[in-house]
Amino acid sequence: HTIADTQLTFELGEGTTQVTAQLRFERSDAAPDGATDLRLDGQELELVSVAVDGRALASNEYRLDDESLTLFDLPAHFELSVVTRIHPEVNTALDGLYKSGGMYCTQCEAEGFRKITYYLDRPDILAPFTTTIVASRNYPVLLSNGNQIDAHELADGRRSVTWRDPFPKPSYLFALVAGDLAVLRDEFVTTSGRKVELRIYSEPHNIAQCRYAMGALQRAMRWDEQVYGREYDLDIFMIVAVEDFNMGAMENKGLNIFNTSCVLASADTATDAAYQRVEGVVAHEYFHNWSGNRVTCRDWFQLSLKEGFTVFRDAQFSADMHSRTVKRIEDVNFLRTFQFPEDAGPLAHPIRPDSYIEISNFYTTTVYEKGAEVVRMIHTLLGPARFRRGTDLYFDRHDGAAVTTEEFIAAMEAANAVDLGQFRRWYSQAGTPVVAVRTEFAGDTLTVHFEQRCPATPQQPHKDAFHIPIALGLLDAGGAELLGAAGRRNGSAVTLTSDATIENPGDDGTLIVHLRQPSAQVTIAGLHSEGALSLLRGFSAPVNLQWHRSSETLAFIAQHDTDGVCRWDAMQTLFAAEIDRLRTGAVEPSGEFLTLLGELATAAHAAADDGEAKAMFAVMLTVPSEAYLGELMEQIDVDGLHRARVRLREVIGLTLFDSWLALYRGNSSTETYQPDGRGIARRALRNLALSYICATGDSHVDVAKRVVLNQYEGADNLTERLAALREIINAVWLERSVAAAALDGFAQRWQHEKLVMDQWFALQAACPAPDALQRVMALDNHPDFDARNPNRVRSLYGVFAQQNVVRFHASDGSGYRFLTERVSRLDRANPQLAARLLAPLTRWRRYDAARRLAMRDALRRIEADAALSKDVFEVVSKSLQTDG
């Protein structure tokens, strides 16, 4: 059966909400002959009554269990009326209808709607919804999807408001909000001249912080028209900010619901990173209106169809709004730090998984971020114009339908007469491919050999070759491009031969090598000297390059490549090499490396104030995180990495002390805080300089103390205030009482701003002092710690386990015991959140024997719990499986 029309009535009452669903069912043509039974999904529901075509069913006419309601002997077409009762006040899982900070709200993706009423709760059942909400006057704002079509008062004083959403949608896009909310209003006029009403709702004390999100929404709406030709369709678009939310935000049709952390922003309550996240997430959810809502997923295996594509779209948008290269570097860094380990561990899965126990566990960096990389590779292979032809055809063909990733690829092929047959393997094979590179230079000829392989992943011992776009450039000794159109413009006359297809889609100095075979080679003849090869420009494919280069070559690329991602990547490699030297016995980093850093710091000082150049130097001069450095090692040397990284930062601070001071002074804020590219870049560079000044240990205590306390006390924005507070609490050279006073003062001042207090918890959870765990345990008992609020939980437990590598992985297993104990407890209240917090433990095979055992024991202790949720069970059991 399918559902032709859905009408819902919610009577919100303290303690109990009654839901009446009137559903018009139609037997689908695909139904097997004689099929007259119908199974509806439903969980944690109290069934009050069920009627077919107005006739109440007797108890022998249906069957009820914990997960479903099955009706027998149904006609081909009928109207079902089901009345259920639910209890949002005690819904701590934040899935379905729940209460957050006094307001009712919903989260239905992926399978939350079945906790509201009995339904065909799957994404390929699309129906228009009419929703009536009845509530007391304590809840003056009553919202649902679509347009409001009625509002009136009932005889008993309650109010009734009705919304109708004319666009057929799956149940996961349903939303309801009821509360005493403030609103910020604006509007948007679409290209075709339709006026759209825009509203952002929040609790009254937060409404002043919604302005930035409104601007971001307007920018996103305009951008989607210009870049994808996508116009908004309803007459109203609403965002509601809620404090308790499992994820970032949700794209419910016409009524997006957001974690406050992804909407609210003001100079004193949001860092530059938070502003950019707000803009990115607002855009992401808005873009889903087309990539997700108008064209949706046939089933949850297709999740990356909407998420991978939409992450790609929001990344393009952010790149257009801010520093393109830095945005790309941040994304590549995120992918390599979090997705690569997932792809190399026991929970590895293709971006289109082929099985799951609990779908909530598959909202992963693989489905999202690697999914976006796969879409990006199609964009790289086709170029922007042909990619746009493909998306136009995709939206055109499948508007109003629930489709698969296959339809996306097929549209790309059909619009462009290209063959993506082999490329499809990116959807079905897990694991990060390795591309080994070897070069030879003889006479006037450079030969580049490529060889690809992909490590085994669970259930996939063997992989077929991927179609990998490798962006390749070559520079001469003066840094000029030698290849492609740019090469010709520079007078280079090289000849290229290859057994792979090579294209120059950008008409620039970058060639795209289509690596399809297990191995390939490219020969470049007519060179005066070897030149400097630049590979995987823009990070053209989510692969690991295995490529040995001398430190001179890397330094040259870092300073001269035209591709910013490759410049940054060369620095990452050089940093990792220095860390390695220090970790394995060297006392000092190499002199050449320090010289290179000095040159970069000097160049940073002279860099243009354009929001791009300074931001680039800031990321290039940042030592990679312990999490990233650990991933580069076969077996992670937790303590060695930490010590080496501290030492490296100290030496860099000392050796270039004057440069850091100059950068610090040269990038002070000149005007009032603006979250724009220029300001963000200056603050990034200044805070980097501050961190090196503070890393000099006991050598410059007076200067460091003066600088950091001045910044802390004088800051007019959270970015600078928090950066200073971080240095204050991490500084071993500062009296403990100073740090304690700063922390207390901060908490006093900001205790009413929950998102700021999240940062206060997070800073301390990340502090690598030896007593970190004791501090985390004390914070766990702090009156402001709230285990029911996911943001707070992530700030304390999540940050400790993910960012405080050296203390979470204490060799005595104390960090592991702490996390498992808290996760077991959390699992009873909020399984989705609990399962996510376990991620760091699942990589137990990467550590030394003692840690490995301690981590495995911790996982086994959780597994022994009989009352485990499906969510946590799946993560724990898969990570303990022997073939993982």
Q: Where does this chain bind ligand TRP (CB under 6 A)?
A: 107, 109-110, 246-247, 250-251, 284, 360, 363
- Looking at this protein, which amino acid is placed at residue 720? E
Mark out the alpha helices in 127-246 (DSSP H runs): 211-228
Check: CB of residue 113 under 8 Å from CB of residue 96.
yes
Helix%, strand%, coil% for the chain, nearest 5: 45, 20, 30
Provide, rounded to whole angstroms, the least separation between the CB of residue 571 and ligand TRP.
Answer: 32
Which tokens in the block code for residue 277?
A: 């996240």
**Nearer Cβ to Zn ion, position 307 or 637?**
307
**Nearer Cβ to Zn ion, position 310 or 457?**
310
Measured CA angle at 181 (ends 178, 184), to 5 deg = 125
Selection from 249, 245, 252, 284 nearest residue 263 by Cα: 249
From the list Zn ion, ligand TRP, none, partner contacted by residue 106 (C-beta under 5 to 8 A by kind): none
Check: CB of residue 427 under 8 Å from CB of residue 464.
no
- Looking at this protein, which amino acid is placed at residue 856? R
From the list ligand TRP, Zn ion, none, partner contacted by residue 690 (C-beta under 5 to 8 A by kind): none
Question: Would you give the distance in Å from CA 591 to the centre of its chain?
Answer: 38
From the list ligand TRP, Zn ion, none, partner contacted by residue 637 (C-beta under 5 to 8 A by kind): none
Question: Contact residues for Zn ion (CB under 5 A)?
Answer: 307, 310
Provide, rounded to whole angstroms, the least separation between the CB of residue 820 and ligand TRP.
Answer: 23
Kind and range of the H or E run holding 48: strand 46-52
Provide, rounded to whole angstroms, the least separation between the CB of residue 314 and Zn ion.
Answer: 8
From the list ligand TRP, Zn ion, none, partner contacted by residue 109 (C-beta under 5 to 8 A by kind): ligand TRP
| CB count in 10 Å sphere of residue 778 | 12
Selection from 369, 367, 464, 371 nearest residue 422 by Cα: 464
Dist CA 258 CA 255 (whole Å)? 10
- Looking at this protein, which amino acid is placed at residue 97? L
**Nearer Cβ to Zn ion, position 21 or 249?**
249
For residue 401, whether the previous peptide bond is cis, meaning omega lies within 30 degrees of 0, is: no
User: Could you confirm whether 285 is annotated as catalytic?
Assistant: yes
**Nearer Cβ to ligand TRP, position 249 or 265?**
249
Give 641's contacts (C-beta < 8 A, 6+ positions apart). Answer: 579, 583, 626, 629, 630, 633, 805, 806
Say whether 298 sits in a helix, a strand or coil: coil
- Looking at this protein, which amino acid is placed at residue 622? T
Kind and range of the H or E run holding 714: helix 701-714
Q: Compute CA distances 545 → 461, 624, 664, whole Å.
A: 21, 17, 35
Dist CA 493 CA 91 (whole Å)? 69
Which tokens in the block code for residue 817?
A: 């015991």
Dist CA 711 CA 180 (whole Å)? 39
φ, ψ dihedrals at 577, nearest 5°: -65, -40
Indicate the pairing of strand 468-475 with strand 77-86.
unpaired
Which tokens in the block code for residue 755?
A: 């998102």
What is the maximum alpha-carbon separation in the chain?
94
Which tokens in the block code for residue 31?
A: 């139904």
Dist CA 192 CA 627 (whole Å)? 48
Dist CA 537 CA 325 (whole Å)? 11
Check: CB of residue 526 under 8 Å from CB of residue 455.
no
Provide, rounded to whole angstroms, the least separation between the CB of residue 284 and ligand TRP.
Answer: 6
Say whether 213 sits in a helix, a strand or coil: helix
Kindly tell me the number of DSSP H helices and DSSP E strands found in the chain.
31, 31
From the list ligand TRP, Zn ion, none, partner contacted by residue 126 (C-beta under 5 to 8 A by kind): none
3 state SS for 731-763: CCCCCHHHHHHHHHHHHHHHCCCHHHHHHHHHH
Catalytic residue, from 109, 243, 285, 530: name it. 285
From the list Zn ion, ligand TRP, none, partner contacted by residue 260 (C-beta under 5 to 8 A by kind): none
From the list ligand TRP, Zn ion, none, partner contacted by residue 246 (C-beta under 5 to 8 A by kind): ligand TRP
Q: Name the burial class of residue 817, with classes exposed (0-12), middle (13-18) and buried (19+) by CB atoms within 10 angstroms of its CB.
A: middle
| CB count in 10 Å sphere of residue 556 | 20
φ, ψ dihedrals at 753, nearest 5°: -105, 100
| CB count in 10 Å sphere of residue 697 | 17
Dist CA 553 CA 206 (whole Å)? 52
Check: CB of residue 445 under 8 Å from CB of residue 527.
yes
Indicate the pairing of strand 159-169 with strand 147-153.
antiparallel
**Nearer Cβ to Zn ion, position 280 or 653?**
280
- Looking at this protein, which amino acid is placed at residue 676? D
Selection from 623, 612, 616 nearest residue 645 by Cα: 623
Active site residues: 285
